Structure 1
Amino acid sequence: MTSNGQTAADHIREIERTRLRALVAADMAAARPLHADDFQLITPIGVALSREEYLGAIEAGHIEYRAWEPSDIAVRLNGSAAVIRYRARLEVIFNGHAVPPGEYWHTDTYEHRDGEWMVVWSQATAVGRR
């Protein structure tokens, strides 16, 4: 438990929700410290992006999140590492082209570094339509 009675898992959930709000708002001052220097995103189409490539694309407007609405966030915590997984509804514009709103699974690894939790790896997978 943290000093305010919040569990570490709840704290990580809060950080992830804060990170998502920062990405939707393209608030790099808020988003950058939540991403490790060696952060890497694997996009739904299998492209690997570094922290600077990903956040730079958002900052430049090449990736514009219109909505990112996570469901319940599951957390598996082991010492200074955690894995989170959740399903989310996303609306995003890539390079000026609107992607149809969709559902995605997100799996992220967090590490506790220098006293702070930060995301290190992230992977998004589109939920198949049936």
Structure 2
Amino acid sequence: MTHSVANLIRETEHARLSALVQGHIETASALHAPDFQLITPIGDTLSKAQYLGAIAAGHIKYLSWEPATIEVRVFGSAAIIRYRSSLSVIFGGYTVPPAQYWHTDFYEMRDDIWQVVWSQATEIRPVSSRGEVLTA
């Protein structure tokens, strides 16, 4: 049973990412909990209304969002996922160079649907802020 739940959560995350890239706010809204909160790669906090509103207004425009393998841990009616992605976005009119990110998302089963409650994205940088090589 846990394996099929994990697959359902993976499918839900893929559907969420597709909705965000395509700007389908109604679909995305159903997959985000009312109390959703995003921690962006630069440390800003966005509520569901702020995040989806920014996408609807064109302030955030995902050009692509390609996840690698999505790892899932299920705990009853809650689950946590983690994955790397390749992401291209226009933010506030500025095209952010394509980059790699780690994503950690917390899902809960609410009203018979898996919804993301918390989401955090971290940019993967090959060099630290001090100029040290971080990857081999």
1:77-119 per-residue CA deviation (whole Å, 9 max, x = no partner) reads 0001100000000000001100000000000000011111100
The ranges of structure 1 where at least 4 consecutive aligned residues each deviate by more than 3 angstroms after the TM superposition are: none
**Is it true that 1:68 corresponds to 2:65 in the alignment?**
yes
- The 5-angstrom pairing of residues 53-64 of structure 1 reads 53-64=50-61
- State the distance in 2 between where 1:129 and 1:91 align: 17
- State the distance in 2 between where 1:114 and 1:99 align: 36
**Is it true that 1:50 corresponds to 2:47 in the alignment?**
yes
- State the distance in 1 between where 2:4 and 2:92 align: 39
Structure 2 unmatched ranges of 5 or more = 128-136
TM-score (normalised: structure 1): 0.95
Please identify the structure whose Cα radius of gyration is greater.
2
CA RMSD of aligned residues (A): 1.2
Structure 1 unmatched ranges of 5 or more = none
Q: Which residue of 2 aligns with 1:109?
A: 106
1:42-70 per-residue CA deviation (whole Å, 9 max, x = no partner) reads 00000000000000000000000000000
TM-score (normalised: structure 2): 0.91
Q: Letter of the aligned partner of 1:83 in structure 2?
A: I
